[in-house]
Amino acid sequence: MTVPEYDDRLAKRNLIILIASQAVIGAQLPAIFNVAGLAGKMLAPNPCFATLAVTAMVIGSMSAANPLSAFMARAGRRAGFIAAALIGALGAAISAWGIAQGNFWLFVSGALFSGVYMSAQGFYRFAAADTASPEFRAKAISWVTAGGLISAVFGPELVKLTAQAMAVPFLGTYSMVIVLNLLGIGFFLLLKFPAPPVRVSGAPMGRSRMQLLSTPKILVAVIVATVSYALMNLVMTSAPLAVVGCGYQVSDSANVITGHVLAMYAPSFFTGHVIARLGVEKVMAIGLVILAGAGAVAMAGVDLSNFFIALILLGIGWNFGFIGATTMLASAHAPEERGRMQGLNDFIVFGGVTLASFSSGGLMNCSGSSVQAGWQAVNMAMLPFLVLAGGALIWFAMRPKES
C-alpha cells in the first residue's frame, strides 16, 4: 500500500502527543538550565568552569544530532525518541551521582548524556512536520513548540520544590529528571508514523550535505536558526549566575527563567499564523530585532525588572527566529534528503550553541572585575552574530527570486 506523502489527520494525532511530551518531559531542560550553572559553581575547582555542564550538555546534543537523525531514518521517530529518553535518564543519574559525591567532572560527564535527550527534543518540530501538508506545516511546527509553555512553568517549579529537598543541594532536581525521562517512554509509545521507507536500488538519493548547504534558502535558514538559538543560550546560561550574583535569591532566578521560557513558547500559538500572513523572512527578521532589544535592555541595568524584560524579549526573539528558520528549512529539501538535512542542521545549530554556552561562563565569570561587568560582556557578544544573521537575510531578500 502506498503511504501518502501528507496526512494531516495523522499529523494532528502525533502533534497532540508531541505537545504533551514537550510539556511534561521537556520540563527537564528549563530545570537543568536553571540549576546546572549553580550546581557547577558549587562543585567546580574554578569559577570559570561554572557553566561547563551546560556546555557539555550542548556538546552531547550536537554530537547526537547526526547519528540520531540517521537512526530515526532507519528505525523510525518513535524508536529514536525512546532511546534518547533512556540515555537522558542515564545522564541525569550520572550527574546526580556526581553531585552526591561532590565530583565536578562526574557531574559534567552526565550532562553529555543528557544532551542526547536535548537533541531528540529538537526533532519534535521535524516529527510534527513529517506528515503535515504544506498548508499545515508552519502551524504544526509552531504548535509543537507551544508545548514548552507548560514546561516553562513546570520546570522551574520543579526546581523550587526539589533544589533543596535533599541534604545535598540540587540532588533532588536531578533525581526528578530521571523520573521525567522514564515517564517519556510511555508518551513515545503512543506515537504513530508511517514505516521508514526501504531504500531501493536506483532510487533518488538527493543532494549531498555540501550541495544542501550551498542552496541559498537552506544556508540562510541554518544561519538564522544557529544565531537565534546560540544567542538565546549564551544569555540564558549566564542569567541565573547574574541574578544571584547581583544579590537576588535563587527563587528570583527561577522566576526570571520561568518568564523567559514562557516567552519562548507562548508566541507559538500564533507564530504559524504570523508566518502565513507576513512571510517567513519577515518573521525571522523581526526575531533578530527583538533579540537585539533584549541585549539593549540587559545592558541598561541590573534591576530585577531589567532581567525580567531582557529575558522575556530573548525568548520572543528566539521563537520568531528559530520557528521561522525551521519553517523555511522544512520547505527547502526533498523527502529523501530529510534525515541528512535535519541531522546536519541540528549539528550546526548545536555546534553554535556549544560555543555560546562555553563562552557564556568565561564571559560572565572571567571577563571583568564584577558580576555587572561580566553580564555586560555576555550581552555585548550578541552584536556581531546579529549582524551576520541580519546580513544573510538581507542578502537572501535581494537575490533574484528562483522560479
206-216 tens-digit pLDDT: 788 788 888 89
Q: What's the whole-number mean pLDDT along residues 237-262?
A: 85
User: pLDDT higher for 84 or 351?
Assistant: 84
User: What is the pLDDT confidence band of residue 200, given thresholds at 50, 70 and 90?
Assistant: low
pLDDT digits (tens, 9 = 90+) for 271-294: 888 988 899 999 999 999 999 999
Question: What pLDDT does residue 106 have?
Answer: 95
pLDDT for the residue numbered 402? 58
With beta carbons less than 8 A apart as the criterion, state whether 93 and 80 touch.
no
Contact 46, 135 (CB under 8 A): no
* C-alpha separations of 67 from 16, 73, 74 in Å: 26, 10, 11
CB-neighbour burial class of residue 181 (10 A; exposed 0-12, middle 13-18, buried 19+): buried
Predicted confidence at residue 1, as pLDDT, reads 34
**Per-residue H/E/C for the chain:** CCCCCCCHHHHHHHHHHHHHHHHHHHHHHHHHHHHHHHHHHHHCCCHHHCCHHHHHHHHHHHHHHHHHHHHHHHHCHHHHHHHHHHHHHHHHHHHHHHHHHCCHHHHHHHHHHHHHHHHHHHCHHHHHHHCCCHHHHHHHHHHHHHCHHHHHHHHHHHHHHHCCCCCCCCHHHHHHHHHHHHHHHHHHCCCCCCCCCCCCCCCCCCCCHHHHHCCHHHHHHHHHHHHHHHHHHHHHHHHHHHHHHCCCCHHHHHHHHHHHHHHHHCCHHHHHHHHHHHCHHHHHHHHHHHHHHHHHHHHCCCCHHHHHHHHHHHHHHHHHHHHHHHHHHHCCCCHHHHHHHHHHHHHHHHHHHHHHHHHHHHHHHHCCCCHHHHHHHHHHCCHHHHHHHHHHHHHHHHCCCCC
pLDDT at 403 exceeding the cut of 50: no
pLDDT at 341: 85
Higher pLDDT: 232 or 138? It is 232
Distance CA 273, CA 268 (A): 9
- Residue-wise pLDDT tens digits, 133-189: 877 877 888 888 777 778 877 888 888 889 888 989 999 999 999 999 999 899 999
Given a cut of 90, whether residue 299 has pLDDT beyond it is yes
pTM of the model: 0.74
What does the pLDDT read at residue 266?
83
Structure confidence by residue, pLDDT tens digits, 312-348: 999 999 999 998 998 898 888 777 777 788 788 888 9
pLDDT at 122 over 60: yes
Q: Where do the structural domains in the chain lie, given as residue ranges? A: 8-194+206-398
State the Rg of the chain over Cα. 20
Q: What's the pLDDT score for residue 204?
A: 66
Q: Which residue has the higher pLDDT, 368 or 262?
A: 262
- The pLDDT > 70 percentage for the chain reads 95
| Mean confidence (pLDDT) of the chain | 86
Determine the average pLDDT of the residues in 353-357. 80
* Contact call for residues 333 and 212 (beta carbons, < 8 A): yes
Q: In this predicted model, what pLDDT tens digit does every residue of 1-55 receive, in sequence order?
A: 344 457 788 888 989 999 989 888 889 988 898 888 889 889 988 877 877 888 8
What pLDDT is stored for residue 3 in this prediction?
42
CATH topology of domain 8-194+206-398: Growth Hormone; Chain: A; (1.20.1250)
Would you say residue 132 has pLDDT above 50?
Answer: yes
* C-alpha count within 13 angstroms, C-beta hemisphere, residue 381: 25
Residues 6+ apart with CB under 8 A from 63: 112, 115
Percent of the chain residues past pLDDT 90, beyond the cut: 37
pLDDT of the residue at 269: 80
